[in-house]
Chains A and B, each alone.
Chain A
Amino acid sequence: MKCNKLAELIPDYLVGAADPGVRSEIDAHLSACAWCREEVEGLTATWSKLGELADELPSPVLRERFSAMLEGYREGSASKPASRRFGFERMVQLWSPGALALQFGAALLCLAAGLAAGHYLTLANGRNADLAEMRSEIHSMKRLVALSLLDQQSASERLRGIAYSYQLAQPDQKVIAALLDRLDFDPNINVRLASIDALSKFSDQPAVRRGLLESLARQESPLVQIALIDLMVQTRQRESADTLRRMTRDQTLNQAVRQRAEWGLREIG
């Protein structure tokens, strides 16, 4: 065996997958060639040393996040009107040989309908149905992505999640709850401010109004407090008057926040 053939054979030798014949061929070569012996000893030592880099365990949060994602996906799929598979199975059933009369009738009906409605109209309808299904799929996917991103550990990912929630024309309670949760508990101030912006879009919903008001009393960052006061004024939330009044009297609050609360009270009237 020549030295240059060793490169092809060593990888199998390292993982113990070399045939016994090849193995003894290598061993014979190594006992005769000092250079190759040194080379193989070095590589084998490095390979086995790698075994000392032990595996680590992920945090238990990973499993929780996976379960939430799976649950979100299942809920998303369940809310779809009818799955493609169901439609396909129904079609197969209808076109089974036992349903000959039905098929004949259906064929006649189709012909008549086709003539009456016209070729182009049929095409357009098909396209509309496809579009509607696609829109519904995209909506449920966006919802899932938003929920999944809002739960990420990186603040930039959570901000992307909020941006996704903007694209939902009709977010459900779960997305709103996730946004309110970010507003209350996110350690990053940019995420909290972004969630106020996102929630302002749905401030006509009672749950959102209540959540925003409760959050105002809990917030500690002046920037977030001011953004919430502004939103109360913008959406004319009269029920926030008590909270604002308390804020004007609270000497532990930032002075700018107290002034903003006074202004807010006047505006709401």
Chain B
Amino acid sequence: MISATDHQLMLHVRDGEVASLGVLFERHHAALFNFFLRLTGNRAASEDLVQEVFFRMLKYRRSYRDQSQFTSWMYQIARHVRFDQASRRSREVRLEEDSEERASADPAPGETMEKLEEVALLRDALASIPPEKREILVLSRFQKLRYEEIAEILGCEVGAVKVRVYRAVRELRDAFFALQGKRAS
């Protein structure tokens, strides 16, 4: 079971062996968590979203096809979950304000102050670019998906993905330099 591919495991889940979802959870929950964390900057919300992705995998397991690509299918669900959450949040009156936690890992010992500040600036720059550009950077740079996979997830041509990646990196670079300039002045 452990050596089975994601695709084989998901086929088992589809055919009623839902325990196999546990193995898929172990393999992918941390990556999904970081995907959401980089898009939302909120740990608690990101955990809720991961839970929702696995819930929908169960709910829609019968829609998984023999020729489906598991990773693409999972990220398609993740994007829907994120979209639904974003639109629900804009409709609902919040009962409690989010404690907007910063997505920050503990600094490694020995890291200089300058380095830490640069990382913080980069994180701010990433948060400042439009969500669709941030998303494509997260998918390509952090989730390490191939452009072909991203094209399947986004439902567009591979060429279009590359153009979007190029534009997103440029915008991030400009945002980073702008923040750096602001801090220096």
Contact = CB atoms under 8 A, between A and B. Distances in A.
- Give the interface size class of chain A: 35 or more
B41 to A, nearest CB: 11
If over half of A's interface residues share one DSSP class (helix, strand or loop), that class is named, otherwise mixed; here it is helix
B162 A74 contact: no
A154 B170 CA distance: 36
Interface stretch (A58-66, A107-115, A117-125, A224-232): A58-66
A154 B169 contact: no
Identify the 5 closest CB pairs spanning chains A and B, nearest first. Answer: A11-B162, A46-B173, A58-B33, A11-B165, A156-B95
If over half of B's interface residues share one DSSP class (helix, strand or loop), that class is named, otherwise mixed; here it is helix
Contacts of A55: 30, 34, 105, 142
B95 A190 contact: yes
A63 B165 CA distance: 33
Interface stretch (B1-9, B69-77, B117-125): B117-125
A47 B169 contact: yes
A85 interface: yes
Interface residues of B, number: 54
B11 to A, nearest CB: 14
A159 B115 CA distance: 43
B37 to A, nearest CB: 6
A56 B18 contact: no
Contact of B50 (A11, A12, A58): A58
A47 B141 contact: yes
Given A8-B159, A54-B105, A156-B92, A42 B29 contact: no
B22 A83 contact: no
A153 B47 contact: yes
B46 interface: yes
A6 to B, nearest CB: 9
